[in-house]
Amino acid sequence: MDTNTARALQGLEHNNSSVRLQAALAVGTTPDPRFVGTLVERCAIEPDFSVREMLTWALTRHAASMTVPVLCAEVRSERAQARSQALHTLSKIGDRGAWPVITPALLADADDEVARSAWRAAVVLVPEGEEKELAVGLATQLGRGGRETRLSLSRALIALGEVMLPTLGAATAHPDPRVRAHAIATERLWRDPDAGFEFALEEAKRVVALGAGGQEERGQASADR
């Protein structure tokens, strides 16, 4: 290992994030299979978003045959950031050989960042012909989390194309109003991408609320009779 390479690897552990960023850039500029393990390990603990993105870029510069097996193993880590960043990197590499690592449990991971990364990776890696099954799996997460989490799921479903519409349509009749609202908002965003998610979600909430109100009124009328 030459002096520059050794310096770059040491730089990945520097206290200054700018130094770590430059080190990751240097490692990616001169790919070497010996870097892969160190890059993946650093992804699991790197606190700076920009540096993590550069680490991912550096990994994409290496042969998929060297990186994908290591990243797939990392997806099973107990550390949430390790799982999330490994999934993010797999989505950037785009090797469908990694598809088996996308399990139903991973799509429903308790950590929102991991789940969001899993959704994004899933729509990139899903084999042709399995999109409908993936849509069913993704739909189990409708209504989950805050705005960013819901938007990520909507984008993932929309990325699957028309094949997800029957599943989404079924979810608009779900007993949970949060699921119904999210499904309706996703459907509207699919039909009108320029509407914006916030607007689509607020409109969907109104539709759900009016629907619930109408059902209550009909129920009361029946009781009066």
At 8 the pLDDT is 78
At 224 the pLDDT is 40
What is the architecture, at CATH level 2, of domain 1-125?
Alpha Horseshoe (1.25)
pTM: 0.84
At 214 the pLDDT is 36
At 7 the pLDDT is 79
Parse the chain into domains and list their residue ranges.
1-125, 131-225
At 193 the pLDDT is 78
At 191 the pLDDT is 85
Q: How far apart are CA 181 and CA 187, in angstroms?
A: 10
What SS3 string covers 107-162?
HCCCCHHHHHHHHHHHHHHCCCCCHHHHHHHHHCCCCCCCHHHHHHHHHHHHHCHH
Q: How far apart are CA 62 and CA 10, in angstroms?
A: 19
- Please identify every stretch of the chain with a pLDDT value under 50, giving residue numbers as ranges: 213-225
Residue with structure tokens 């042709």? 128
What 201-205 contacts at long range (C-beta under 8 Å, 24+ apart), as own/partner pairs, is 201/147, 201/150, 204/180, 205/181
Q: How far apart are CA 204 and CA 119, in angstroms?
A: 22
In degrees to the nearest 10, what's the CA dihedral of 27, 31, 37, 43? 50
Backbone angles phi, psi at 37, to 5 degrees: -60, -45
**Do residues 129 and 138 touch, judged by C-beta distance below 8 A?**
no
Q: What would the two tokens of residue 196 be?
A: 């914006």
Find, among 172, 209, 170, 211, the residue nearest to 188 by Cα: 172
At 28 the pLDDT is 94
